Amino acid sequence: MSSESAVKLYHFPVSGPSRGALLAARAIGVPVQIQIINLFQKEQLNQDFLKINPQHCVPTLEDDGFVLWESRAIACYLADKYGKDEDDTLYPKDLKQRAVVNQRLYFDASSLYVKIRAICFPILFLGETEIKEPLKKDLNSALEFLNGFLENSKWVAGHQLTIADTSIYASLSSILAVGWDISSFPNIQRWIKDCATIPGYAENEEGAKKFGEAVKKNLKK
Ligand SMILES: N[C@@H](CCC(=O)N[C@@H](CS)C(=O)NCC(=O)O)C(=O)O
């Protein structure tokens, strides 16, 4: 694929969902042309971007005129369209294996990421300066489940890396960069080390670090 025909990703490295889509693209190996939408400067509300995505969120994908947002939908689309046939592991075609990957993706979208956002959004944008106990417990309960998924499994949806790992790792790396204590989740600790082998890992860490710094800056010392 030439760089002119590369898929375009409207992206902000600080955003966990945006990093999730990019990490999936890197794992799949599809060339991506990145256009930064700086959310701290409200660039998502620029008219040009609103014409592409009236919901004004990143990540947003543009592929030969086809526009898609929602990070996990983007990961599924990229894996289906650009995944290599001989490497049917990132988003398996087998019905049951794919169903488990989908289950983990929905777990991230509806539980893990939501609980991370519930902690960080008020600190980043609403003047909150501490992490309240109920929110801590809520996130740790999701982490218990994640730790359980990894009990007898190298990756979150089985013995192969999938787009569930890229999505969940992008979410988790944000809160790890804030300094979350995961010492009581040994399977997660082991999996995090394996995630360092995912293509695009370093790029994800860079964005997560910026996210962590932005949150920590607003936390009461
Ligand atoms: N569920 C969406 C969440 C996307 C989202 O909320 N993106 C945020 C950044 S983390 C955003 O673009 N916010 C700007 C806005 O909504 O105006 C996904 O996974 O892509």
CATH of domain 95-218: 1.20.1050.10
Sign, CA dihedral 113-196-22-178, equals: positive
Q: Is the pLDDT of residue 2 over 70?
A: no
**Percentage of the chain lying above the pLDDT 90 cut:** 95
20 within 8 A of 165, measured Cβ to Cβ = no
- Is the C-beta atom of 214 inside 6 A of ligand 1? no
Query: In angstroms, what is the span from residue 137 Cα to ligand 1's centroid?
Result: 24
E strand map for the chain: 7-11, 32-36, 60-63, 66-69
Query: In angstroms, what is the span from residue 59 Cα to ligand 1's centroid?
Result: 7
pLDDT in tens, 83-106: 987 668 999 999 999 999 999 999
Q: Class of the 3-82 domain?
A: alpha beta
pLDDT in tens, 153-201: 999 999 999 999 999 999 999 999 999 999 999 999 999 999 999 999 9
Amino acid at 202: A
> Could you give the dihedral angle defined by the CA atoms of residues 68, 71, 73 and 74, in that order, rounded to the nearest 10 degrees?
60
Query: In angstroms, what is the span from residue 172 Cα to ligand 1's centroid?
Result: 16
- Is the C-beta atom of 17 inside 6 A of ligand 1? yes
Residues 6+ apart with CB under 8 A from 68: 60, 61, 74, 77
pLDDT in tens, 110-122: 999 999 999 999 9
- Is the C-beta atom of 74 inside 6 A of ligand 1? no
Q: Which residue has the higher pLDDT, 3 or 25?
A: 25
**Domain ranges across the chain:** 3-82, 95-218
- Residue 221 has a pLDDT of 81
Which residue's alpha carbon is at the smallest distance from atom 11 of ligand 1?
57
- Residue 6 has a pLDDT of 83
